[in-house]
Structure 1
Amino acid sequence: MAKSSAIDKELSRACEAAIEGTKQKVVMSIRVAKSKGAWGKGKIGKAAQMAKPRVLAITIKDKGERTKAFLRVLKYTDGSVLEQAKIYKLKNLGKMEVLTSDPSGCTFMLGFDNLRNQRVAPIQWTMRNLDDRNRLLVCILHICKDALGRLPKVVGIDIVELALWAKEHNSRDSKKQNLKDGPSGDLLSEGDTTVTVGNDLVSQAEEEEMEALLGTYVMGIGEAEVFSERLKRELHALEAANVHAILESEHLVDEVLQGLESTTICVEDMDEWLALFNVKLRHMREDIEAIETRNNKLEIQSLNYKALAAELDKLLEKMHIPTEISDCLTEGAFDESHLRKYIEACEWLRSALCGFDALDPRYTTTIAVKEKRAYLDIIRLTFVRRACAFLRDYFVNLVDSLMSDKRNFSQRGQLKKPDHADIHNKCRIYALLLHHLKILDKNSLTPLRKTYCSSFNQLLRRETREFANELRAGTKAPKVQSAWFEGPTVPNQNVDTSMISGAYSKMLAAFIPLLVDESSFLSLFMRLEVSSPDPPSIHDDDVDLSMMEMDENNTNKGTVDMGALNESLHDLLDGIQEDFYAIVDWAHKIDPLLCISLHGITERYISDLKAETAGYVNLLLDAMEDKISTLFTRFVDEARHQIEKNDKNVKQTGVMSFVPRFALLATRMEQYIQGQSRDLVDQAYMKIIGIMFVTLDKISQADLKHSDIFILENYAAFQNSLYDLANCVPTLAKFYHQASESYEQSCSRHISVVIYYQFERLFQFAKRIEDMMVTNSPEEIQFQVGLSKSDLRKVVKSNLSGVDKHITAMHKKLMKNMTSEELIPTLWDKCKKDFLDKYDSFVQLAAKVYPGENIPSVTEIRDLLASM
């Protein structure tokens, strides 16, 4: 018998080489012949196509708990090398069919579910013998059961026969393997794998039951046909015995049938009686339901009638308008003595209107309700019109009575601070009436506010004008010169203008609190809150109409309507600013520097105003602050213009007049600083000092020969005059340091010119030595052209012989053209120090380059300078 290719290890290794890199393991490889047949039954012989040699390999791949199995089709290339031709997933295997048209049983087909829709006939595989076929099929079934958990459909072969073959093959291959390999043989050979697959097709328990059943019928039976005949005879015997037993029990069956028939008759009679009773009960139930429905409707109707009657009574009560109320609100002239009665009528009218608004919406469509509501609106509008006309006349007459009495205003020789407490008390009497008017008609207060504000605006403007005029007439102050930087004389520093600032403070102290109080009173009195609570009832015994709801600390006060408030405040206070502007202009004409103190006073008042109702007063103060700043800026610009006039491209010497005058101006400005006006003064300092420095630079350019002398004298004068102020004013300290730097630079340049004028050859020689030492060693320099020892001796002789005369000439040169004699000692000391430093550098260079040469020492020159 030929050796099976299923156990050919060479073939297995060739398959593994063909699928190398796929991480799959070859379980079985076997040679087959491939052919294609038609759909349905396959045909062998001429119907089959030419068979092609192929190798089928079953491979598996472990992925953790899951195992994937594949059927690979390999073909030969180049005669003996295998390569992959096709691959199928065994999870898609649905059918294994052995073709019955092949008598040998070696041809089979594998049907895959995912290939059913292809219009190609399934491939037919032909094995060499039945053993090879069984090995492959058993292996596939084993993998499908263990790895995939299911078995494909098997057609054309008995699964029991396949299991018996696997068992027999298992025992036979085990014996061969033991004889060949001994006890140490490979138990995991290909044959063992196949046998294990066969045992797994039928479990051990099923196999034992099958053997027990077959063992019962093996006795004396040699062929299956005889066994089948015997079973048929036993079946006929059992059926005959069953029929005989049934015939013997016939009388019992008859008795049972008779009993069933009598029971059926009784059941039918009972069913008829039950149907009759059911009809009667249904009619009775319908009658009861009809009676209950009528009773419920009658009861609901009765309740509805009672509720309707009660609701109509309430509606009639709400719709009733007492005659005394309607007469009070609509008839006769508005009388101040009946104010309490009017307020009671307003309360009733508000209550009635709220009652109509609270009615069910279905009532509002009725004619009676519409008529009553329209009548109430007529009463409401009539009363609002009467009350507004009365209040407009009242405000006008109240202000006219105050305006006609001159004692209420400032007079010659007597300042009168306005007091509106009495007029406010007279207005508070109608505070509650205004509240009701706002609720009855929210637009009714707008014309009232206009009338109130225009009337009181006349009163406030006259009070302000009279107070300002008398304030200026009663304050006598000297005229102060405003031109600080031109003219022969300087403004007197001892002039006292504090009474002007005091007058301005009196003006603000008298009217700013008054205007704030008027603004708050207007907001409360004219009901400028967006939402306000209901007022107390007029019937409360402890209610005082003159003070009602006018407490500024009232916690129940609503949010202020800022738009309406600002509009009313504009009408109330417009034009008052002109009298304040007149005071500021008056103070500015007397002394422009008073703007500093006025600015500080105004800032303090601005910072103290926090109330929302003081918004317009804040605007007034802001406008005054802007005007004061504008006037002061105009003064500063004029001062800058006066300083710029000194730049005439004409040679000027000495200290300019505007330098010491600025020190006097700064001292005076610091005296006027009050409150938060520091920024205003600092800005003025920066503008004036900036133009001073620019002008000094321009003047110095007119005479470049003496520019350093001019600069250092003026900057020294600037520092000397502002020394004390710079210690306490940071802005002046910054310019002080700037002037100090310019002074030092000018001093250094001027002293260098003076020194080089007398000792030019000496220090130029030193400069040439320094330049030459960059590229040459000190020993080589004395051999350079112009730097020999003889050249050194000539330079020393020309500059240092009679050095005392040169130093005297240097001192005279330093003093020449200097107008500030107090600067000369300081400059001379600095000149001697700079000369010694330069000479010391020269001596050190000469010692390195010309050792042994006789040059006067630094000590000799220092002693000589000290003795002069």
Structure 2
Amino acid sequence: MSRQQIQNTLFLPNDERLITMISVSKIPRKTNLKKRGSWLCAVLNTMESPAKVYIYHVKKSDRGEGFKKKMSWLLRDLRKLDGKSAEKPSPEFDLHFEKTYKWSAASVEEKEAFISSLWRLSHRFLIQKPEFENIPERLLEDIKDPHTLREKSQSVDDISIEGEDYQALSAKEEADLELLMSECQVAISNAEVFTEQLSKQLSVLDGANIHSIMGSEDQVLNLMRLLDNGIKEAEQIEEKLDSYDKILANVKEQMEVMRDKDTLMTLRNKNHQRLLEELQNLVVIRLDMKHIQALMDGDLTTPAGIQECTAAAQALHRCMNADIHPSLLRLGGVEEQQKRFKKLSTNFSKRLVHHLNNLFIHQVTYVHVYMSSLSKLYSREVSDFIENAKQKLVAAKESKGKLGTATLSRLTGSSTSLAKLDHRGRSGSIQSVDSSAVKYGSELDIAIRSVFDQVLEKVLTEMERVCIAEQDFCFKFFHLIDKNTPKDEDQEKDKDSTTEGGGDVETDVWVARQTYSAAEGEFITENLGQGLLQKRAAVTVEINMMAELFPQLETELDGFLTHADKQNDMYSMYMLVRMSQHVINNQDMGSFLGKTFGNCLIKVKRNFDKFIDAMMQTIRETKTSKKSRCGIISFVHSFEEFTNLAESIFKGSDRHADLDKAYTKLVRVIFEQIIRVAQEHQKTPREVVLMENFHRMFSILSHLKNPCLENDRKEAKQRYTENLQAYTVNLLGRPLEKLHTFFEGVEARIAAGVKPEEVGYQLAFSKQELRKLIKEYPGKEVKKTLEHLNKKVEKQLCEEENLIQVVWHEMQNLFINQYKYYDSLMTKCYPDSNITLEFTMDNVLQYFSDIAQSH
């Protein structure tokens, strides 16, 4: 194929010009190049602006009558051209575009000519040139010289083309030639006349050009004069610019000086501002004369005097805790002022302590007499009340859980204190346990536990009511500080203004607190920060006074709880929930009632732990009858009933975490003891014991829906599934024993290397031997075997868990798998023998269905 054919067929219609071409084939598929007709062509398109160079992969059409462009790339997209080797000639080369294309040229010479042409085209038309690697230096020498490069890149038409024997005219050149020939009619018939005419025209044009050059000499001289004048003007401008530079240099120095001065002024202003702010802070830290007078001589016996002293003390606190820079504290004036403030604080504190001490001393006699008298009354009433509660429990047990019409009597307390004051209505929010939802124990046990829950709630509610009422009375009657009394708006404002400076109210202004000592029979004065006076003093007075008024309250309550726990250790769950709720109701600032209930709660929690430990020990000591089938073990039933009762008791309680811990301990022990019983029981297979009891435990734990038992629930399900499968496999065994042994031998021969279709030619595994074994297992015999297995399952499994159908279904699947195993081996090893078992898959399904329905 000639270059001209490709040029005229593919590129000329698009005004493209073929620069160079090379016959190639792809690597590694090297085939006959002539037969494939594959070329790489470098083509120049000058119609685009700027001119672009394309590389086309050209192939012959399928019919071999023409050519087609298979792929095309722009030369500017070429990243690298790899010649493979610069020393050893090789026809292979790579073109790296976005993808790497590997080619093999028809000859080394064509490859070198193609690479040299791409090198020149890239240097002529590209700014960002591709890399040329592993190329012989001689291919690039002709354009490395800059002079040679300029000569070769003057125009697009000057590019040398190796091996080109003809260059077609462009469309513009062809049009100009036709116009010229049309002007001369003899151009076609007489070339000499046409040539002579062209020469004459050329002479005329040369003369016109010379005349034009001669006529423009004057203009050239004028242009030279203008250039000289321009040079002189430029020199003058440069001189002026030099003078301006000198002036600006002086200005620059002056501006730098001004900038430094401005910086210094700004810094000085900032320092002055900060100094002014610090001085203003120091000036503000002063105490008015009226506050000084109040601190020194203020009247602490009248409301107006107390208000003045309070305001003065707060102002003094602000002054002493003002935010002052540490360096300013060394100023003489500041040190002197701080000393004056400390002196005022010390004198006022001493005066206030003396005043409060006198007040408490006058009241201590009345308080002591009141507590001595009322403590005897409350001791007797509390003792009688607790004894009455104990008798109610005994009566409920004797009357089979009936509380009767008579309920617990109420604690009356002091007629002075309790006649006019109502209790605050604090009682446990826990509802009574619904006995219908609990099956733990007999109906009598359920009724008795319900009575105990009511009696316990009544005991705690009455103690709470009486103690709170007495406490309120003491605070109001003896004018003590009430820790629950809200402050008025003025006090809140004073508190806010006191704490604005960030100081600690407790550390500087001291007041007195009276603490009653039972041993000394008097109040002891202590120093305490004013900020905690109301809360701490109120709590201390309450605890001490209430402890004197109710000396036997905790002892009596503890005795009642101990008595109840001895009657039934299950009561510890009721006590734990009820007591916890009442502790929460009375936990404000560690009050006497909260402290008393809290101490009892600790003992109740210990009783609950003992109750759980006793349950665990009972589970460990459980023995089962070895003469009958095991079924569901008794402690599994007990655990299920316990969870129902416990969930109803602990529902909504904050103590459910204690129950969760108990669940975890009990489940671990139950799992261990199920395994022990399964190993020891002689009547029931081990797998049946494990399967049934872990199935029940899985059901119980799933019903609880407790996140802390999720791992135990999964373990129970896993153990149930594993033992179900193991029991089914062991029970079913090999119902077709001889057939199973026969096919095991067949598989052994195949494993030893005998081809499956050749197994039947061995004497022990012949077709006749197989038919003989099949006749021993007719459908009726198989059904009898299955009926015997079903009866065995019914004897070993308990009806309580209803797992017979589950086991039977699992056994059906296992038997079907054995059937398929025999059938597949017969098909593979005895083809075209028409040997089959005497019963089909449908027969097997019917056998299992009939047996299941009959039972």
TM-score bracket for the superposition, by shorter chain length? 0.3 to 0.5
Higher CA-based Rg: 1
TM-score of the aligned structures, taking structure 2 as reference length: 0.43
Length-normalised TM-score, structure 1: 0.42
